[in-house]
Every structure is written in structure tokens, then in C-alpha cells.
Amino acid sequence: MSSLQLRQIGKRFGHVVAVSSLDLEVAPGECVALLGPSGCGKTTTLRMVAGFEDIDEGEIEAGDRLLSSKKRNYYLPPEKRDFGMVFQAFAVWPHLSVHENVAFPLRVRKLPAAEIERRVRAALTHTHLLDVAASRPDELSGGGKQRVALARALVIEPAVMLLDEPLSSLDPHFREEMRFEIKDIQRRLGFSMLYVTHDQSEAMALSDRILVMKNGVLQQVGSPMEVYYHPANRFVFGFIGLSSFLRVGFSGGSIWVGDVPMPLAVAGDAPAELVGAGEAVLAVRPTDVDFVSEDGLRGVARRRAFLGEIADYQIAIGAQVLRVQKLRHETGPQVGEKATHLSRDRLQFQWVTHDPLAGFPRHGKFPHLADQPVEKIRERCTKQACGRRSSVMASQPIVVDDRQSLQTPFRPPTPVMVHLGKATIAPLNGG
């Protein structure tokens, strides 16, 4: 049985649709991150689950308990839902000790003193606060205060924990430390968790599945790896991780980036409706672009920034810009150096179908086609795409080459190539 079920829930504020027809099931012991930009509906969804906002449509259940139902005109208040809740603000009482802050929800429930002490001690132990139980919250760091809030939520022994951007007010060091502590506590105690965040790294580190939202509509739900490597549409591709988008055109059996031709005839591998449109978008991760020495897509290195372990490049291809990231010890072009190349390695295709009525993208992917000849790839693509209203996402290597490192002095321009390891071709206005 699922710990939590959301069935077609929706919420409006006047004429604004905050959440539209959202479905989600959370399994026992599972962590699901609600991820999206500000105003996407993720916090509103969490507040409906908590009972702070009533739903305008759909139903919410926890196990075999009905929590909210518009159809049945039923609403269970927050204090009876028995969910642990951790807010963005610490929301701890400064005049109470750490022990009394954690014990407060149990005293409200009028539990026996011995049971209160047992539960408080267990919660303080799990959050590493036992040694500071007599201290006031103001004597603790930001991370310590958030541990108090977490312990207070844990002390009621909930089956489901709800966390609303709990680490956003912490500095980067404490934020990274706390995210792993929260995950460790969840694994040890086995509760389910809904975690709202706009921080992609938090969602990746904490969650078993990520639910991506935009304008109140579910865009994709899947494991962190699935959402990252197989995004459902352009929005998900652009929101999860770093990305570069290039406008491309189809002409003469080739793909062109502005007036710069790609040396690959991949247009023949794309569905006819995409080629017929004349234009599309090529998307690629900066880390999937390699610098090589021949057969490349011509460009010029316009910027190179040192970011610690990463060197970040901006490659101008005609009037467009491609972002590239390499480890600092890897070679890369000097600013002003010319770059060239695109290779045919690692072709992979992904079809994306959009249902505008439901607003929910469904996707399916093709197996890796790295070692298959182009004729075979074209044959499979034609068969699989037949009869579908779809867009193709083609994983292409690109290449920008040189032999320079950040430590070496400037040398005269040499031919270079950019290899787009996992590029994606999609409609110009898709997703």
C-alpha cells in the first residue's frame, strides 16, 4: 500500500491555476522531490498534502485514510494528519531549550511523561542534538537550529515527512552537510518523504524520484538519472543541469547551425515531419562536449573561466553560443582560438510526445545505437516514428579541439573540434 496518494488534485487562486490535475503515489520509505522554479506549484502541492490549503479538485489519501476529497466534501485538518513538517524558516521557540522545543508537540498531545522523554531522547539522538539538549536555539548554528526543527518533526514518529525547502537559509557548507544527514535519518527510520526544493543538486542527492513542475503542470516524474539523461521536453532538459541550445536548420541532407554546416548528414536520420519543418533545436550538456582535432563544427572560443575543478568555455558558432565544461587538467582552447568538428559517435534517439489537453509529456526511448551503421539507424527510426506526432532527440557528439590547458601559454590557433556527446534534436517551439 502506498504511503501517500494524490489523485487529480488541483488548486486555484482566483483565475490563477496553481496546480492542475496532479497524480502521484509515494511508496513507503520513498523520498520524492518536488522540483521546479518559483511559482510552479510545488509548495502549494505540499501545503495541500499537509492540510494548510484545501483542494479544489481531486483526492488525497495516506495509506487507507482519506485526507481530502472535493467530490466527497471531506477535509481532515492538519493536526489530525500526523505528518512531520519542516519549514523553510526554522520556526523554533527561542525561549525554550532544545529539549522543550522537541517535546512541545508531544505535550500538546498530552502523552505520558515517560513516553515523551523516550521519544525526545530518540529524536535528539537521531539528529545529534543530545549533547546540547539543555541549550537554547540561539546558541546553535543555523544547521543546529534546523536539526531542532527536524527533531521536532520526527518526535511524533510520522509515516510521512513533509519538507518545504528546509535548507535554503543555510550557507553552502551546512546545506550540503544537512542534506546527507536528512537522507541518512530517512533511511534509518523508514518514513516516506515529500521534499520541496528548487535546488537540483538537493533533489538529486536526496530523492528516489524527482517530480518536475512548471506553471502548476507536471512535466516529468522519474529517478534522478532518468530525468537527467532522458528529459521529457525542452523545459526539463534546460531546468535539470546545465544545457546549451542551438537553433538548427535542415537543408541538403545536412543540419546547419546558422550558416555553419555540420559535417554529419543526420538530417536523414530524423523523422520526416521534423526535417520538413525546416528548423529545430539542438540541445546538449556542456560536459558532453569534447575538444578534438579534426572533422569538427567550426567555432571560436570567446570565453574561458576557471571555476575551481572545472574550466568553463563559451564557444561561438556563427551567431550562437555553445557552453563547454571540462576538468581543469584537460586541454582546451585559448580565448580567440578557432574550434571545429562534429563526429557521428554514440547516436541515440528519444521521442517526445506532448498531450496539450493533459499538459503531461509522455516519453519513450530507443536503445543505444552506437555500433550500428547509419542505414540501420535510419531504418529503425523510420519504423518506430511511423504514425506518431513526435519530435526526435538525437544524441550527437560535437567537437572543439585544441591542445591548450589553463596553465600553458597562448599559442597560435590550431584546428579544433567540438563533440556533442548526447545532443538532442527537438522542434523549435517544443516543451
Q: Which helix (H) or strand (E) holds 103?
A: helix 98-108
**Overall pTM > 0.85:** no
The C-alpha cell that represents 145 in the structure block = 537550529
Contacts 24+ apart (CB under 8 A), 122-126: 122/155, 123/151, 123/152, 123/154, 123/155, 124/98, 124/99, 124/151, 126/151, 126/154, 126/185, 126/188, 126/189
Of 189, 186, 213, 421, residue with least CA distance to 326: 421
The strand pair at 192-197 and 31-35 is best described as parallel
Residue 264's pLDDT is what?
Answer: 53
How far apart (Å, rounded) are the C-alpha atoms in residues 161 and 194?
Answer: 6
How many residues comprise the chain?
431
Residue 328's pLDDT is what?
Answer: 74
Residue 392's pLDDT is what?
Answer: 29
* φ/ψ (deg, to 5) at 299: -160, 180
Residue 177's pLDDT is what?
Answer: 80
Residue 4's pLDDT is what?
Answer: 94
Sheet holding 338-339, edge to edge: 320-327, 310-317, 299-307, 338-339
What do you get for the CA distance between the two ends of the chain, in Å?
34
For every one of its 431 residues, what pLDDT tens digit does the chain have, with 9 covering 90 and above? 568 999 999 999 999 999 999 999 999 999 999 999 999 999 999 999 999 999 999 999 998 999 999 999 999 999 899 899 998 887 888 899 999 999 999 999 999 999 999 999 999 998 889 999 999 999 998 888 888 989 999 999 899 999 998 888 777 777 888 888 888 889 988 999 999 998 898 999 899 999 999 999 999 999 999 999 888 888 998 898 888 888 877 776 677 777 666 655 454 556 666 666 677 777 888 888 777 666 667 778 888 888 888 888 888 887 888 888 888 777 666 666 665 443 333 322 232 323 222 232 333 333 333 344 434 433 443 333 322 222 223 333 333 332 232 333 323 333 344 545 555 555 556 55
The strand pair at 192-197 and 160-164 is best described as parallel
Residue 416's pLDDT is what?
Answer: 42
Residue 24's pLDDT is what?
Answer: 95
